[in-house]
A = this chain, B = another copy of it.
């Protein structure tokens, strides 16, 4: 693997998931692979799960890890040809090349603005790192994608699936703040590549990018969409069409035990209790969110392992 910025970077998804599950039995098996290799983790935004699980994954592989909260250092310039006499003090061209010399792999987290759709969609920050860095880049959640989360989700569903072609529903949930579409996007793309029957349900106006959803079924009636679901992935996102807007906080979209039925409940976390999902779901056996979070380590470890093998 030469980079992991999009789920398409995984060449053999089934094999990768199978290996991740095996890895859980012996997380330190490939500890020599990362010896004297360094992962630099760059955070333009805060992180708990992604940070800890990716650091853990790297250390499981024997890597050294160096972490930098970029905003504590300085503001980077991403535009070409700018006269840098204002707020930015270093150009991504230099920053990416320089950090590449201290790193064997660079992992980057940078959320979207949710105000400038075109800029967010261009993934200018991540793409700039890909363009100027001379080592592989790992996406720890970018403007439009969260492929490490999606891989963890795929591992979780694979581990828990008891039948062929399970029904998976991505169900929008209310939230007081405007959130990115990244998790939803990557989940949809991942499911499209697995042997599952995917349905998306959300209020009108919350359609994800057509380039993501393609032919995936969209049903505006949540109850109908949830019928006979095996896995229900609940997530809020802000509007894509009316970009970054909170169009609805309709509480009736909150996931409840009754709506969930016999399905497993999934969420990437952090989750707002009794807003996104009621306590009764999270505190029940139906919830697999803790398992999902655990699989973040092994998703990251598989990605780092495949990159290390190709260095």
Contacts and interface: CB of A to CB of B under 8 A. Distances in A.
Given A49-B98, A102-B56, A89 B272 contact: yes
A306 interface: no
Given A36-B28, A46-B72, A269-B94, A66 B52 contact: yes
Interface stretch (A76-84, A140-148, A188-196, A203-211): A76-84
Interface in A55-106: 55-56, 59-60, 64, 66, 68-70, 72-74, 77, 80-86, 88-91, 93-95, 97-99, 101-102
Given A89-B270, A89-B272, A74 B46 contact: yes
Given A101-B293, A289-B94, A290-B101, A273 B52 contact: no
Interface stretch (A114-122, A156-164, A274-282): A274-282
Contacts of A86: 176
A226 B222 CA distance: 72
A16 to B, nearest CB: 20
A47 to B, nearest CB: 7
Contact of A94 (B56, B66, B93, B271): B271
A282 B93 contact: yes
Nearest to A40: B52
A279 B81 contact: yes
A81 B38 contact: no
A282 B92 CA distance: 12
User: Which bucket holds chain A's interface residue count?
Assistant: 35 or more
By secondary structure, the A interface counts as mixed
Nearest to A84: B272
Contact of A97 (B59, B66, B73, B290): B290
Contacts of A49: 98
Nearest to A70: B48
A86 B272 CA distance: 9
A255 B38 CA distance: 35
A273 B82 contact: yes
Contacts of A257: none
A36 B74 CA distance: 33
Given A56-B38, A69-B72, A74-B46, A82 B274 contact: yes
A51 B68 contact: yes
B46 A269 contact: no
A128 interface: no
B95 A48 contact: yes
Nearest to A98: B293
B64 A59 contact: yes
A297 interface: yes
B53 A102 contact: yes
A208 to B, nearest CB: 22
4 closest Cβ pairs, A-B complex: A90-B270, A84-B272, A101-B294, A98-B293
6 contacts: A47-B73, A84-B275, A89-B270, A90-B272, A98-B294, A101-B294
